[in-house]
Structure 1
Amino acid sequence: MTDQAPIAIVTGASRGAGRGIAIGLGMHGCTVYVTGRSEKTGDSSLPGTIYETAEAVTAAGGKGIAVRVDHADDAQVKALFEQVEREQGRLDILVNNAAAVYDEMTTPLRFWEKPLKVGDMIDVGIRSSYVASWYAAPLMVKQKSGLIIMTSGSGAVHYVFGPAYGAHKAGVDKLAADMAVDFEETGVNVLSVWMGALMTDRLQMVLDSDPVKFAYVKDIVETPEFTGHIIWEIFKDPATAKITGQTVIGAEVAVQYGLKDVGDRQPPSYRDTHKVEPRVQYSNIIR
């Protein structure tokens, strides 16, 4: 790290996990580029805009900069990274969180009974994370430092909402594992972080759909900002290089760093609540 405030990009940060992560990083003084498509109320079925998130980052103690980016458009992504390089001269943290998430994804139907657009999560999710990392890599390699984070979850290893959601989570875990091989000896680290159930507007919508069925969720939720604090600790820790490429469970990382969520809560690990754990990457390398 340098004396300059760390420069971060958080994609898909109009609302939900991205908004929380951006604010969390802002609380540690980061300059955060907030990307997304929502610029005004009504752009999405859920509340939140990139400008509101940027203002919240600044209010939290950092500097929020809103940039309207459709992560399905490679040219817009390219322009984002050119802007960051031009304005800041460096990039310290990239959080790949953008994903095409539609309300229909959470309905209890089989995948062919849901609209085909639900599959967009594979493009604006896996591919968009690849593209953003592709543009971030030269900046970070040049400065010999940097952290790329994929936001993920246990749906990578068990059924959640259907194959599009699962493919996204498993896909970004694999991106982190393989990118770490290419980043070897560059000073750049990459991890996939399994976030817990986040108390976002979308999750609240799911809970409201069947309060009895989902009553247990209220006891295990995390605030969206919690992952931002976890990412900050990972970024600061020189030992992160030893685990680069791995998929980690955010709740377990929090215990390692002595982090607790709002209300002095220690969110549980998927290892305890779901009896699952991330898949392990084998060490074989074929080039």
Structure 2
Amino acid sequence: MKSASGKPVVAVVTGASRGAGRGIAQALGSQGVIVYVTGRSRSSSDSPYGGTVAETAALVDQAGGKGIPVIVDHADDEAVRDLFATVRRDYGRLDLLVNNAAKLVATTSPGGFWEKPLETADLLTVGLRSHYVASFHAAPLLIGNGRGLIVNTGHYGAVSYYHGAAYGAQKAGADKMAADMAKELRPYNVAAASIWMGGLDTERARAYIASLPAEARPTARRESPQFTGRVIAALYASEELMNFSGRALIGAELGAYFGITDIDGSAPRSLRYTLGGPPQLHPSLR
């Protein structure tokens, strides 16, 4: 996959030590992308779910791209500024930003929002504000290219009850943020969109499912994290990129549109008619 200048695409994927970010980075690597992999994990012991930025960067290399691990706490504005200063110094440009970093605390715990730790609301800092800060620093680099894309990883929780108030607010906020950024970026041929992921087969998800009673464990097939990365790559490469800008898009539907399958050859299923779906065009763009 090449940039507008014919050079390899340069991307930043935030929150990529594990989970969705790791899969997205790995899939972009398979397209020959140079991927800055960010996250806080230096050691696999830093999280109960394992994973480090260095491990993800190595997977990007193995897939055929170039992985560059950078330790970044996305609650630290100066660290984020330094990240994009490094990208500018190394390559002088940026083609793709994937905002995926999120601080998940007690998200799947039972009970009302008042019964969960107050730090559950930190998702509105690292997960919403952090998307804004990363996009703020990325925008000049994307605009300088004359073509670019910002993706916020999203979910059906933006329009339906899922994991509680903080989770829903973060997902809905990220959708609206992408829509409004898209409006301001359109004159520069830079797109912004949210891509909703389905139930993912991640380390965190596997641990949560394993904690449930056997009779309560879901049996439906889960999307691989790499699927979203494949969809993002197809969207970036498409001549229709700007037609999708400003929209919240269901990854399964966008994958079907571009003919993208998951790593096992299957086609993930849209949950639009069970969990709800985004509008075709956000009202702020009408």
Counterparts in 2 of 1:46 and 1:284: CA distance versus 1, 3 Å: closer
Aligned positions of 1:84-123 closer than 5 A: 84-102=87-105, 104-123=106-125
Q: In the alignment, which of 214, 218, 225 is matched to residue 215 of structure 1?
A: 218
Does the 8 Å CA contact 2:179/2:284 hold for their aligned counterparts? no
Counterparts in 2 of 1:249 and 1:284: CA distance versus 1, 3 Å: closer
Residues paired across the two proteins, number: 281
SS of residue matched to 2:215: coil
Residue 172 of structure 2 corresponds to which residue in structure 1? 170
SS of residue matched to 2:83: helix
Residue 80 of structure 2 corresponds to which residue in structure 1? 77
Q: Does 1:144 align with 2:153?
A: no
CA deviation string 1:127-171 (max 9, x = no partner): 000000000111111221110000010000011111111111001
Q: In the alignment, which of 151, 154, 157 is matched to residue 156 of structure 2?
A: 154
Counterparts in 2 of 1:283 and 1:35: CA distance versus 1, 3 Å: closer
Residue 245 of structure 2 corresponds to which residue in structure 1? 244
Q: In the alignment, which of 67, 78, 97 is matched to residue 64 of structure 1?
A: 67
Does the 8 Å CA contact 2:37/2:57 hold for their aligned counterparts? yes
C-alpha displacement at 1:35, in angstroms?
Answer: 0.2
Residue 51 of structure 1 corresponds to which residue in structure 2? 54
SS of residue matched to 2:140: helix
Q: Does 1:195 align with 2:197?
A: yes
Q: In the alignment, which of 9, 13, 33 is matched to residue 6 of structure 1?
A: 9
Question: In the aligned structure 2, how far is the partner of 1:134 from the partner of 1:284?
Answer: 20
Report the AA paired with residue 165 of structure 1. Y
C-alpha displacement at 1:209, in angstroms?
Answer: 2.0
Q: Does 1:15 align with 2:12?
A: no
SS of residue matched to 1:166: helix
Q: In the alignment, which of 178, 181, 184 is matched to residue 179 of structure 1?
A: 181
205-214 or 1-10: bigger deviation: 205-214
CA deviation string 1:249-283 (max 9, x = no partner): 000011011111122211100114x2511145225
Counterparts in 2 of 1:84 and 1:267: CA distance versus 1, 3 Å: same
Q: Does 1:229 align with 2:224?
A: no
Q: Percent identity?
A: 47
C-alpha displacement at 1:3, in angstroms?
Answer: 2.2
SS of residue matched to 1:65: strand
Report the AA paired with residue 117 of structure 1. E
CA deviation string 1:173-214 (max 9, x = no partner): 011110011112101001100011110011111211224223
C-alpha displacement at 1:243, in angstroms?
Answer: 1.8
Structure 1 unmatched runs, 5+: none
Report the AA paired with residue 7 of structure 2. Q
C-alpha displacement at 1:106, in angstroms?
Answer: 0.6
Residue 133 of structure 1 corresponds to which residue in structure 2? 135
Question: In the aligned structure 1, how far is the partner of 2:44 from the partner of 2:144?
Answer: 39
Does the 8 Å CA contact 2:246/2:285 hold for their aligned counterparts? no
Question: In the aligned structure 2, how far is the partner of 1:213 from the partner of 1:222?
Answer: 19
Q: Does 1:25 align with 2:28?
A: yes
Residue 269 of structure 2 corresponds to which residue in structure 1? 268
Does the 8 Å CA contact 2:150/2:191 hold for their aligned counterparts? yes
CA deviation string 1:39-98 (max 9, x = no partner): 012111211000000001001100000000000000000000000000011100000000
C-alpha displacement at 1:284, in angstroms?
Answer: 6.3
TM-score (norm 1): 0.95
Question: In the aligned structure 2, how far is the partner of 1:283 from the partner of 1:201?
Answer: 36
Question: In the aligned structure 1, how far is the partner of 2:179 from the partner of 2:256?
Answer: 23
Question: In the aligned structure 1, how far is the partner of 2:171 from the partner of 2:285?
Answer: 22
